[in-house]
Structure 1
């Protein structure tokens, strides 16, 4: 399967640079994945498409202000790091810039000494292991000094850090937001509950691999990044009860999809489970558990548009994207949403 089969033309002005003032006022493209039929709605209309007995699956990971700017202690030269994975209490795997000048043993000063980092190792993919020193609580220092790690196609920082997290974000650990969830408000979630829809929480800590382009000519040659996920007993039971009762599992976001599809048994049962997943979903994949998907509009030739195409059909999805361009939908992380049923 060729990577170029997932290309579409997107005018740059349709890439959303800021979130809307009201989360749920985003537009919503609703597509019947069997017929390919499309309706244009708003996200606040989404309860109309959910029914009693369904289960809405949401990813409650929380993005941390993982981008730090500092200076090399030896030279005063600017250094930028991005926290990726916590290895121990004070050691993190990080992406560093400029990579060629930040080698093992280098010391980086952040916030005029509020935080110090020493590069203690370089790992296979060029990322660094950094050991931090600080006074007090690391998370409080990070909240003071760090920036939200917005994707590269967003060119300005947020004035309100909370807008790059969902209203139900709970567990620190992501370097990127599960952006489909940014449209939900507490009021809209309550409306869904009142309709008889169960809400199940899963956790998948989103890594920067979600933004990495597929550089191989063929889809099958792409190496997928790994991410850590958790499904606890209570929420596994909610999802299994939904399936047993004939309800639908509707995932908010590709991260929720990847979580339940990673854990699901061949018969669709979802056990309580945690671990690392490198699942790569593209056309030809047979879904075991997910029945519906809420997601944003994704980059051309990305693993995410491939996942959506596996669920709803490549031609249907590309037709929907072309319609969205014609209708001037807003694309990517702060953009509008789709519902595939």
Structure 2
């Protein structure tokens, strides 16, 4: 399958640079995956498409302010670091710019020495393993010194860090937000619960692989980076119950989808599980768990466009995206939403 089969034309002005003041007032395109029929709604209208007994699945990961700016000890050269994966003993796998200045043994100082790091080794893709040293609590220092690692197509920092965080974010660990969840407010989630819809939570810490372009011509050759996920038994039970009773599992976001599909048994049932997943979902994939998906509009030729095409069919997705461009929907992380039902 050719990567170019998942391309579409997107005018740059449709890339949303800021989140809306009211999260749930984004637009919502509703796409019927069987017929390709499209409806135009407001996000809070999503309740009209949920039924008692359905299970809505959220990814409760929390974005850490993972972008750090420091200086190389000895030369004061500016170094930018992005935290990717926490290892043991305060060692992190990181993306470093400029990499050529950061050979093993190099020491970097952040916040005038509040945090220091030593480059241990170069690993896959030129990433660096860095050991950090500090006094106090790492997360508090990070909150003080770090910036939110916004996607490359967002051109400025946010006034309010929390707008790149879902209202239900719980567990620190992501380098990017599960952006489909940014549309929910506490009030909307309560309304959904009051309708008799179960809400289950899973955790997948989103890595930078989310933004990596597909660099091969045929998608079968693309390798996804692994991300850590966890499902607790209480949440697996909610999802299993909905399936067993003939109700739908509605995933919020591609990260929730990848978690469920990674963890499921062949018969679609789930149990408590954690681990690393590099699942790559593209057309031809047979979904084991999810029936419907709430998601944003994704980058051309990206693995996420391939995932939604696996659920709704490439032709339906590309037609829907063409319509979204015509109707001037807002695209990407801070953009509008789509419900594939």
The TM-score, its normalising length taken from structure 1, stands at 0.99
The CA distance in 1 between the partners of 2:30 and 2:206, in whole Å, is 25
Deviates more, 1:266-275 or 1:191-200: 266-275
Structure 2 residue 69 is matched with structure 1 residue 69: yes
Provide the residue aligned with 1:185 in structure 2.
185
Aligned length: 341
Matches within 5 A, 1:1-341: 1-341=1-341
Deviates more, 1:128-137 or 1:250-259: 128-137
Mark the runs of 5 or more structure 1 residues left unpaired by the alignment.
none
Residues 261-294 of structure 1: per-residue CA shift (max 9 Å, x gap): 0111111111211111111000000001100000
Residues 10-40 of structure 1: per-residue CA shift (max 9 Å, x gap): 0000000010011001000001110000000
The TM-score, its normalising length taken from structure 2, stands at 0.99
Structure 1 residue 233, shift from structure 2 partner: 0.5
Moved over 4 A (4+): none
The CA distance in 1 between the partners of 2:44 and 2:20, in whole Å, is 13
Instruction: Find the residue that maps to 1:113 and give its secondary structure.
Output: coil
The CA distance in 1 between the partners of 2:3 and 2:303, in whole Å, is 9
Residues 58-106 of structure 1: per-residue CA shift (max 9 Å, x gap): 0000000000001111101100000001101411110000001111111
User: CA-atom RMSD, angstroms?
Assistant: 0.6
Structure 1 residue 229, shift from structure 2 partner: 0.4
The CA distance in 2 between the partners of 1:61 and 1:265, in whole Å, is 23
Instruction: Find the residue that maps to 2:79 and give its secondary structure.
Output: strand
Residues 202-230 of structure 1: per-residue CA shift (max 9 Å, x gap): 00000000100111111101111111100
Structure 1 residue 159, shift from structure 2 partner: 1.0
Residues 116-174 of structure 1: per-residue CA shift (max 9 Å, x gap): 11111111321111111111111000000000000000010011111111000000000
The CA distance in 2 between the partners of 1:278 and 1:90, in whole Å, is 24
The CA distance in 1 between the partners of 2:304 and 2:124, in whole Å, is 25
